[in-house]
Amino acid sequence: MDTREALGSWIEGPKAAAERMGADFGYRGERLGLPQEGSGSIAGPGRRIGALFVDGWLCSLIAYGLITRGDQAGANLWTTPLFYLVTVVLLATTGTTFGKRLFGLRVVRLDGGRASIPQVLLRTLLLCLVIPAVVWDRDSRGLHDKAVGTVEVRI
pLDDT at 134: 86
pLDDT at 14: 65
- Rounded to a whole number of angstroms, the CA Rg of the chain reads 18
pLDDT at 50: 96
Nearest to 32 by CA among 108, 113, 111, 137: 111
In angstroms, the CA 41 to CA 33 distance is 9
pLDDT at 3: 56
In angstroms, the CA 66 to CA 82 distance is 12
pLDDT at 150: 95
In angstroms, the CA 76 to CA 5 distance is 47
Q: Residue 150's beta-bridge partner residues?
A: 109
Parse the chain into domains and list their residue ranges: 29-154
Q: pTM here? A: 0.80
What does each C-alpha distance from 132 to 4, 27, 39, 53, 113 come to in angstroms? 34, 22, 26, 17, 23
pLDDT at 63: 87
Nearest to 111 by CA among 155, 145, 141, 150: 150
pLDDT at 5: 57
pLDDT in tens, the chain (155 residues): 555 555 555 566 666 666 677 666 678 888 888 898 889 999 998 999 999 999 999 999 988 887 777 777 777 888 899 999 999 999 999 999 999 999 999 999 999 999 999 999 999 999 999 888 888 888 889 999 999 999 999 99
What is the enclosing helix (H) or strand (E) of 152?
strand 150-154
pLDDT at 16: 66
pLDDT at 30: 84
Q: Residue 107's beta-bridge partner residues?
A: 152
The phi and psi torsions of 93 (rounded to 5 degrees) equal -95, -40
* String of DSSP letters for 59-91: HHHHIIIIISTT-HHHHHHHHHHHHHHHHHHHH
